[in-house]
Amino acid sequence: MGMRLLLVGGLASVVMASGWLVASDKVAPKEAIALCPISGEPISKDVSIDYKGAKLYFCCKGCVKSFKSDVAKYAAKANLQLVATGQAKQIACPLSGRPTKDGTELTVAGTDVKFCCNGCKGKVSKADEADQLKLVFGKGFDKGFKVKSN
């Protein structure tokens, strides 16, 4: 599996070949990077579709077709992009739906996320990269995040 170095907010982080950062409570980038939910490449603001009341961006039209053919497969990465582009904000713990508490911050896929307790934080921090995305931005997205009204 290839890796590349990514500088975010002056901090270096290792990015796996899939293009998404693993959760870490040691590296907390200030800005998440918006990537195409299909390819993991940088997005183009010229290639987008409406998704959950917001704009979902892709690197190319081919990725739009792939997304539409299997939305469920790419939903976690699409939801992550909504947060990274500032179109969705965290409103609660993505695992429980309860209010978040200070001191439970964790960086998941390059995005700072808060939890209701250290139990929820621990569950995510112990998960592998794919499961972190599923827990926070897949199953947990509707509990913990809200798309901003335009």
Secondary structure (3-state) at 107: strand
Q: Would you give the DSSP letter of residue 24?
A: B
Q: What are the residue boundaries of the structural domains of the chain, listed by start?
A: 19-147
Q: How confident is the model over 30-75, as pLDDT tens digits?
A: 445 789 999 999 999 999 999 999 999 999 999 999 999 999 999 9
3-state DSSP helix/strand/coil percent for the chain, to nearest 5? Answer: 30, 25, 40
Q: How confident is the model over 105-129, as pLDDT tens digits?
A: 999 998 999 999 999 999 999 999 8
At residue 11, what is the residue type? Answer: L
At residue 138, what is the residue type? Answer: G
Q: Is the pTM of this model over 0.85?
A: no
Secondary structure (3-state) at 94: coil
Other CB atoms within a 10 A radius of the CB of residue 146 amount to: 15
Q: Would you give the DSSP letter of residue 37?
A: T
